[in-house]
Structure formats: C-alpha cells, structure tokens
A = this chain, B = another copy of it.
C-alpha cells in the first residue's frame, strides 16, 4: 500500500449493504419477517443498499417501510457482518442458476453475489400492523416463528441469532413493549413478551411489581373479557414516561 495508493485501493472492498431482522410478537411467540427469492425455495432477511444521499439509518428505515408498510418502527443497528465467506455459507451457486432462469443469464453479473459487508439492524414492530411485501428479487414475504426459521441464504441465520442477542441485551437495560404490543394489553401479555424474549419464566407478582416501579404504565378501567377466567385489567404505556425511561434506561433485574 505504501507505494501505490491507487493500486492498493483497487484491492479493497467496495460494497456495503444492510439487512434487517424484523421482530414481531404474536400468539406468545417471537416472529421474524423473511423473503423467498423468485423461482426458488430459498429465504433471506429483508435488506438492501444504501443510496448515495442517504445515511445507513435512513436506508434501514426506507427498506423497512417498503417491506412492512410501517413508518416509525423501532430500529437499532447491532453488528456489521464482514466475514470473507459470508456469501458462501449456503449453496448460492445453485441459487444463482435458478435466479438466472427467472431473470436471464448474466443479469446479476458484477452486481449481487459479490462479497459485501452488511450492516445488521433489528426492528421491533407491532405484528398486526405489518403488511408483508416482497421486493423485486422475491415473490413472497411472510412471518416465521423464530423456532421454525429454515436455513437461510448467506449468513442470515447468524444475523438472526445476533439480533436476538442484541434484543435480549436491550430488554435487560431498556423498557420494551411499546414497539411490539398493541396499544392496550394485559399484564400477563406483557409478561409473556418478556418471557419469550428472555426465554425464562418470572413470578407474576414480582414481574408486575418491577414493571410498575418503572412508572411507565397506566392501568385502564377496562378489562379484557372473553377468556374462561377472571378478566385481567388492560394497561397502556404512558408515552412520555416510556420515552423518558428509554433514554435513561432501566434495569430489568429479574
């Protein structure tokens, strides 16, 4: 490098992309949004490239909006994936052949399937609000239960694993739920969310005590009716207090 700058520069990496692990919570399970590539059975995370006049965060937001129809979702960068072999974990060659049947021979020449560095984001969204929308490379976009996620393209299984770790980390230091639950919810539902994310059980009374101590929840005069048991109260986050707690951080110490 020291002797020929331009020569060195030609030997350096010239691509960045970005991939999002979109978490939703439904029927007591964490879900992630996956895309099926055109003419194949291969799935991957939603992702894309950064435009020249766009920050990485803007790009993540744009891509998220395109895939979910939602505008203001919680988005957090958690890791940048820069392994040399991150594109050869899985049978991409066959994938490329299948894709060329759909898109035409040589279509991807020098465009995709070169090695790139990818910035990993995770998003938290309200499951019911999402309109899963495939992109130009894919013809299906749908939720998968975390437990059922198949072998994904590239290093996307590792991405989900790391995203989950980052989500757990965040859950231990910040309030969570405003982004994943509907406006009104019961205390047991909130507890189930925490239990699902952290993969542990908590004592009902201690959980309620701790969450109420954050002073971000308001108990409503409504109850959820319909189930074969005592009707639980509905709660709602007090937005300003919740946001203050997000900024300050809280310790979920169970």
Contacts and interface: CB of A to CB of B under 8 A. Distances in A.
Given A49-B9, A117-B16, A55 B83 contact: yes
Tell me which of A6, A13, A50 has the highest count of chain B C-beta atoms within 10 A of its own C-beta: A13
Interface string A1-36: 110011011011111100000000000000000000
A80 B83 contact: no
B56 A136 contact: no
A254 interface: no
A228 interface: no
Interface of A: 1-2, 5-6, 8-9, 11-16, 49-59, 77, 79-80, 82-84, 107, 111, 115, 117, 119, 136
Contacts of A136: 1-2, 5
A62 to B, nearest CB: 10
Contact of A57 (B14, B15, B82): B82
Number of copies: 2
B117 A51 contact: no
Contact of A53 (B54, B56, B58, B84): B84
A108 to B, nearest CB: 8
Given A13-B50, A14-B15, A119-B117, A82 B111 contact: no
A227 B31 CA distance: 61
Contacts of A57: 82
Given A2-B136, A6-B111, A14-B14, A117 B50 contact: yes
A43 to B, nearest CB: 21
Contacts of A6: 111
A49 B12 contact: yes
